[in-house]
A and B are shown apart, each in its own frame.
Chain A
Amino acid sequence: MEIIFVLVIASLLVALLFLWLFIWAVRSGQYDDDYSPSVRILFDQHDNKEEKSNTKSKISDEARDVLLRQ
């Protein structure tokens, strides 16, 4: 019967691991925002395309001036 005792300790340790994971998730801010991650995942495609074009056309000094003047 002593084996049950070992099993209980083992199961408690596993549960503790999940508790620790939960606390870590809360602390690292994963529960802060429940909206943007759900839409952010859909943006990726755009992002790749943009990245390429971005390397080609660096912002010209002129456009930058326009932006900063306002």
Chain B
Amino acid sequence: MSKRCYHCGSPSQTWVQHDGKDFCCEGCVMVYDILNSKDMGAYYDINKAPGIRKKNTAAEYYDYLDQDEIKQSVLDFHDGSIARIKLYIPSIHCSSCIWLIENLHQLQPGVINSAVNFNRREASITYNEDEIKLSELMNLLSSINYKPHIKTEEQKKTAKKSKKLIVKLGVAGFVFGNVMLLSFPDYLSDDVALNPDLINNFKWISWLLVLPVLLFSGNEYFITAWKNLRRKIISIDLPIAIGIIAIFLRSTYEIVSGTGSGYLDSLTGLVFFLLIGKWYQAKTYEALSFDNDYSSYFPLGITRIKDNEEEIVPINQLESGDKISVRNGEIIPADASLLSIGASIDYSFITGESVPVRKQKEDMIYAGGRVIGSALLLKVEKKVETGYLAELWKERTDKDGNESMLSATLDAVSKYFTIAILIIATLTGLYWLWQDSSKAILAFTSVLIIACPCALALSVPFAFGHASRIMGKNKFYLKLTAIIEGLTKTDTIVFDKTGTLTDPDVFEVNYEGLELDHFHSSLIKSLAHQSRHPLSRALFQHLNKSDEFEVFDFDEREGAGVSGTVMNHRIKMGSSSYIGINSDGKEEAARVHISIDDKSFGYFVIHNFYRPDWKEMLKAVQRKAEVHVLSGDNDAERQVLEKELTNKNNLHFYQTPKDKLEYVAKLKAEGKQVLMLGDGMNDVGALKEAQVGIAVADDVYQFSPSSDAIISASELVRLPKFIAFSKSAMRVVYAAISISFLYNVVGLYYAVSGQLSPLFAAVLMPLSSASVVVFTSLSVMLLAKKRRLL
């Protein structure tokens, strides 16, 4: 086995020897030392190399958290000097992490207690405010590379919702079991039956037990059915609600009048099974957040300057006209104009364009840019909620409104189903009214009872729920299972380039020209290190084996190049015009020309590094769908991409976030089903606009733009497979719907002819549900096996 870092387990080319162990970088050594000095070496005993390597060096400031108002809004609990806070720590990944975070009190006095919820990657930390400030606590966690995030209100809500469903399921299960037992004597033949008085009492107990199922466990079916009816929509909830009410009224009538025993056991079983379906479908990925909005990226507190004094205010209290100070690495929270002399702003977050932009005094700076270099003084022009970025987000938040939570197909089916059932029930009632009026009500309600589409309602949750779980195992996480249906309809796929098709952290560097020796490479490396331009960074990475010298007279020209004196040699690198040579006009944007002592040496061609197998992936998806590529970057990659696209007109560069959004909207207006894949804030508008928006993330637990699904970048190549798999899952749903219709036809025969007995209903209804569940789960699993997704 090759050498691995003792702390984080990553391979490396340069090694730091420390304490007889190998580390990949100083950062890892530092964390190791901190832990070792506190006798916390057990961290490394539980798991091998459990640490996290520090990825981006962007500084984080937490001092705003000590401002009272902000502190109160983020703390869970606060009494005297004792405070508790819930933090989202996406880097938690193994048992060592749990151990370390739960033993924080050994690392830092003042921390009283900490508990980890692994499923949600959450730590609940109780601490003493007299001994440690909140900002210090946050800094402590970041210093050991467990970067904490503060949970937003929205994320806290979803947890509560899923708990309520479990309680409802528990109540329904409890009642189902007891009512079954109480109904049992009634099904026995007369010679072993109990005293009729006793049976009658049992019925009344059952009736009382059913009330909580009706009013608590099953209430959502009535509420949704009613809400949809008022919006003139018939969903699957309506026939279910009608069925439940019909069973309950009919049973109550039979019990009160003593004419029969009712169908209460069928009723509770029905609700119980339906809730299981709901629970199975609703079980989502708690640790992932699909609904990040712009505010999850911004700091909660901002340094405002008033009367020459700095104060920290909550972000929502910023008014236009306020003067604010933003430090290196911080994100500008609102559209503002620059008061400092000049600044470099990294807009990669918003535009995808990786080159920092130079801004002059009084220039307008949009929110979302990251400050590079010294702290800036800005004047807020627009409040945070009305800024460019926030508007982009808001634009599509109210997506079609009535979007189905389950499945559009199922809703369409249930619409005709409901109408058909109501017609059949009425005709049956009328027929019996004419034949034998005593049986009319009985036959009418029997039809409604037996037609209650329990099996139908379970087909989608189980087929899609199972499919989405299988996709989750393959690192493709869906926010809602209904997204599978959207995937099957896709006929147009739009890709973002930077970060989606390409790996933003890696570059492909080739050199052409006079041979460079080690000394020359070292000169170039030294100069490249001074610049923050992405091409310089790529060069610096590429020349990692070279040495580094001190650079004098460093000068950087925006959009041109850099120059400096290294070891008494004058070095220039940049565009051909900057170097002073003629360009052949090819791929100019990707080339870095080099001149040493005014002698032109040659050029480096720096290309984005495409994700492995991306060509095969594009080829496969283009067989089934139209593919478009949008890029916020310059067109340096045009030739590479044109080769892979069947239609070269679908390739667009220099796209602003708004352009992307409008592009997707245009495709939609042409009647296309658009699937959008993007990775950054610049894609958020387009991701929301598209029927299905998938965020591509190198680390799925890090914040990604709000989307319908998150796919791990390494699995992007399997996209065609996932689409094909969802099509199979859809076919399973169709088959399951057919099966449940078959049961309905058999049941209806008995109901229409007026011979539906409670025993028959009690057997047929669970049987149909169970067989549909087994059928869908098994066939989805087999299909996944066939496609090697399991």
Contact = CB atoms under 8 A, between A and B. Distances in A.
A5 B143 CA distance: 66
A15 B34 CA distance: 53
Contacts of A32: 117, 119-120, 159
Contact of B205 (A12, A18, A53, A59): A12
B182 A59 contact: no
Contacts of A27: 163, 167
B167 A8 contact: no
Interface stretch (B194-202, B347-355, B382-390): B194-202
A24 B205 CA distance: 24
A26 B167 contact: yes
Contacts of A66: 34
Contacts, number: 96
B108 interface: yes
Interface in B92-135: 95, 98-99, 102-103, 106-109, 116-120
A59 B198 CA distance: 73
B16 interface: no
A50 B99 CA distance: 12
B40 interface: yes
B142 interface: yes
Given A27-B163, A33-B119, A59-B109, A47 B103 contact: yes
A50 B174 contact: no
A23 B109 CA distance: 37
B98 A67 contact: no
Nearest to B164: A26
Interface string B141-164: 011000000000000000100010
Given A5-B198, A50-B103, A26 B37 contact: no
Interface in B12-55: 34, 37-40, 42, 45-46
A46 B42 contact: yes
A35 B118 contact: yes
A40 B101 CA distance: 11
A26 B166 contact: yes
Contact of A36 (B118, B140, B159, B171): B118
A58 B109 contact: yes
B102 A53 contact: no
Sorting the interface of chain A by its residue count into under 10, 10 to 19, 20 to 34 or 35 or more gives 35 or more
Nearest to B115: A36
B39 A54 contact: yes
Interface string A1-23: 10011001000100110110011
B273 to A, nearest CB: 18
Given A5-B201, A23-B167, A26-B170, A46 B143 contact: no
B205 A67 contact: no
A57 to B, nearest CB: 7
A41 B325 CA distance: 48
B142 A70 contact: yes
B178 interface: yes
B136 interface: yes
A39 B95 contact: yes
B182 A67 contact: no
A57 B34 CA distance: 14
Nearest to A59: B109
B139 interface: yes
Contact of B34 (A33, A39, A67): A67
Given A12-B205, A47-B103, A40 B98 contact: yes
A27 to B, nearest CB: 7
Interface string A30-65: 011111100110110011001001100111000110
A43 B119 CA distance: 19
Contact of B117 (A36, A58, A70): A36
B34 A1 contact: no
Contacts of A68: 136, 139-140
A68 B197 CA distance: 77
Contacts of B118: 33, 35-36
A15 B109 CA distance: 47
Given A26-B163, A43-B99, A57 B39 contact: yes
B34 A40 contact: no
B99 A46 contact: yes
A50 B39 contact: yes
Contacts of B38: 54, 57, 59, 63
B211 to A, nearest CB: 14
A33 B190 CA distance: 51
Contacts of A57: 38-39
A22 B205 CA distance: 22
Contacts of A18: 174
27 contacts: A1-B195, A4-B194, A5-B198, A5-B201, A8-B182, A23-B171, A26-B166, A27-B167, A31-B166, A32-B117, A33-B116, A33-B120, A34-B119, A35-B119, A36-B117, A40-B98, A43-B99, A43-B102, A46-B99, A54-B39, A57-B38, A57-B39, A59-B38, A59-B107, A63-B37, A67-B143, A70-B143
Given A5-B201, A35-B119, A63-B34, 6 more contacts: A26-B163, A31-B163, A39-B99, A43-B99, A50-B40, A70-B139
